[in-house]
Amino acid sequence: MSIIRKTLQFILPIYISAGIMPEGGWGRYRRLWRRVVFLTAFVSITPLIIMTVINYYQYKRVFEEELIYPISRLTSNTQHSLSSFIAERRSVLDMVVRDKAYEDLTNQEELTQLFRNLKESFGGFVDLGIIEADGIQRTYVGPYELKGKNYEDQSWFHEVRLRGIHVSEVFMGYRDFPHFVIAVMHEMETGGFYVLRATIDMETVNQYILSLALRPASDAFLINREGVLQTNSRFYGKTFDKINLAVPSYSAKTEVVEQYDENHTHFIIGYAYIDQSPFILMELSKPEEQMKSWLSLRNDLLWFLFISLAIIILVILWGANYLVRHILEADRRRAQALHNIEYTSKMASIGRLAAGVAHEINNPLSIINENAGLLKDIVTMSDNFPRQEKFIKHIGAITKSVERCSTITHRLLGFAKRIDTQIETIDLKILIQEVLGFLDKEAKHRNIAIAYHIEDFLPTIESDKGQLQQVFLNIINNSFEALNDGGRLDIKIETRDANRVAVTITDNGHGISEDDIGRIFEPFFTSKKKQGTGLGLSITYGIVQKLGGEIKVKSKVNEGTSFTVILPVKHK
């Protein structure tokens, strides 16, 4: 305050002596100059400081999220892979004991062939054995001499007897190398039981861990519920060593937490319990290295704030003088400017009403589209991704739906800006099937039969795909509302002549009365009482006319309705 007052006392006498400011207007102009400086400084500097503080915390949060998200994503993906790996082998063993007879499994040649098939089809199997109810291994296929081994006193054998299936922790056992076993019990119809036991090579599991492509400050490993390593760790030693971190509490989903070990090392930890197994997947990352870039950015923000404040104050002092000298000219122009602003604002508001809605919808659509692309990249880049083809198919459906929504919002912008029709080559059969795809679940739920009658060698047409989708969706929706459960919908596509194609949609619903059929294309006319707006068929009629076609309707009460849309092959 004192600095500004001294500046004011120094500058104003100079302005008066130079003739810039009249001496008689000293008090008025001094107050005006002071208000301009104070208010301009307030509205300029305050938002800058607020935005700098907001950006400070936003950037910090983004950096923290950039640490957490990759850990969460990689941990989740690896957890799904490991769960699928174990579940797949559990399922195949369970299928074997259900499908194969006991006599086949105890036949050494049959068991040897089964073991070869499992190794070739699934991989990871080290050996395979049949253990009878007394704990003796009756038959065995593998690289070790384990036939006749007695497992009656083994804890896993008792668990299999109680639960019917068992996935063990990693152990050394007779084989003298880290492995784990999957055992499945099967009760025989004649009484008694036997156990099919398979040893799984941990090298296959290690490959999933190595596929994470960890950074130098990161680590990933498996532990059991007691915190004992099941795989080697970069930070905590080899298999069977105990880590000096607390075992995370159980969660059905992937979790990310911050934790310090006994050496006070700060870690961000992503962990996930592997389904139906004793394993816990953990990924650790030291955040210090990644936070260096945040500290650099923080210093840049502070320097930006200080330099901006200095420039703003200088500009405000110069601007206050400029405004005071030109205040009279501004007053003369104010009335005209206010009139122009009012008119411009009124016109802009009309555009903003439509454009604002479209803009708010387009933003989440863009995010959906980008994430769908990212999901597709993740799926296609993974050789062992389960159900890859199905995932890619669903991602394609998401992308098409986003494009359709974008087209709709693009039309909404027509309130603010003229948008021309987009003409493209269209296969009507594919277009109709795409439209029915939106109603497929309703058709199945209501047991509505849909029949196609499509002419051979049907020509493609040139028209606006988005608008035609809206036309046929409106018509088919009306047909569905007219149909009772178990009704029928017939769709016929044929050529009328060399220049026109006709699409006829016929239902066996309740039909339209003779009094109403002449008015169904009128705006706001509806026979649905409280449910309808009366705009669907009116908009449909307008679109067909705009595309150079025509629409006809035939109907009988309690027999059904038939809509025929005739479209030109070539757009004019």
**Is the domain of 355 the same as that of 398?**
yes
Token pair 């007879």 is found at: 101
The whole-number pLDDT of residue 196 equals 93
d(C-alpha 230, C-alpha 247), whole Å = 13
**Is the domain of 354 the same as that of 474?**
no
Q: Is residue 44 part of a domain?
A: no
Domain that holds residue 128: 100-204
Per-residue pLDDT of 167-208, as tens digits, reads 989 888 776 778 889 999 998 887 889 999 999 888 888 887
Residue 211 confidence class, pLDDT cut points 50, 70, 90: confident
**Is the domain of 429 the same as that of 414?**
no
CATH code assigned at 349 = 1.10.287
The whole-number pLDDT of residue 272 equals 92
**Is the domain of 406 the same as that of 485?**
no
Q: Is residue 325 part of a domain?
A: no
Q: Is residue 85 part of a domain?
A: no
* Span 525-552, average pLDDT: 74
**Is the domain of 484 the same as that of 370?**
no
The whole-number pLDDT of residue 190 equals 79
Cross-strand pairs, 154: none
Token pair 């757009």 is found at: 571
Q: Is residue 29 part of a domain?
A: no
In the Cβ-directed half-sphere of 9, how many Cα atoms lie within 13 Å? 6
Q: Residue 99 — φ and ψ, nearest 5°?
A: -90, -35
CB-count burial class (<10 Å; 0-12, 13-18, 19+) for 279? buried
The total number of structural domains in the chain stands at 3
Domain boundary among 401, 419, 437: 419
In three-state form (DSSP H/G/I as H, E/B as E, the rest C), the secondary structure along 93-162 is HHHHHHHCCHHHHCCHHHHHHHHHHHHHHCCCEEEEEEEECCCEEEEEECCCCCCCCECCCCHHHHHHHH
Per-residue pLDDT of 338-381, as tens digits, reads 544 543 444 355 455 656 666 677 778 888 888 888 888 887 88
Amino acid at 519: R
Per-residue pLDDT of 243-275, as tens digits, reads 888 888 988 899 988 888 777 777 888 899 998
Window from 133-142, 220-229, 436-445 with minimum mean pLDDT: 436-445
Q: Is residue 86 part of a domain?
A: no
The whole-number pLDDT of residue 415 equals 39
Positive or negative torsion for Cα 131, 136, 140, 145: positive
Per-residue pLDDT of 465-489, as tens digits, reads 878 888 898 899 889 988 999 999 9
Q: Is residue 482 part of a domain?
A: yes
**Is the domain of 435 the same as that of 454?**
yes
**Is the domain of 407 the same as that of 437?**
no
Q: pTM for the complete prediction?
A: 0.45
**Is the domain of 175 the same as that of 191?**
yes
Q: Is residue 134 part of a domain?
A: yes
**Is the domain of 414 the same as that of 432?**
no
**Is the domain of 409 the same as that of 445?**
no
Mean pLDDT over the full length of the chain: 80
**Is the domain of 441 the same as that of 377?**
no
Domain boundary among 204, 238, 267: 204
CATH code assigned at 171 = 3.30.450.20
Domain boundary among 149, 174, 204: 204
**Is the domain of 472 the same as that of 387?**
no
3-class secondary-structure state, position 523: coil
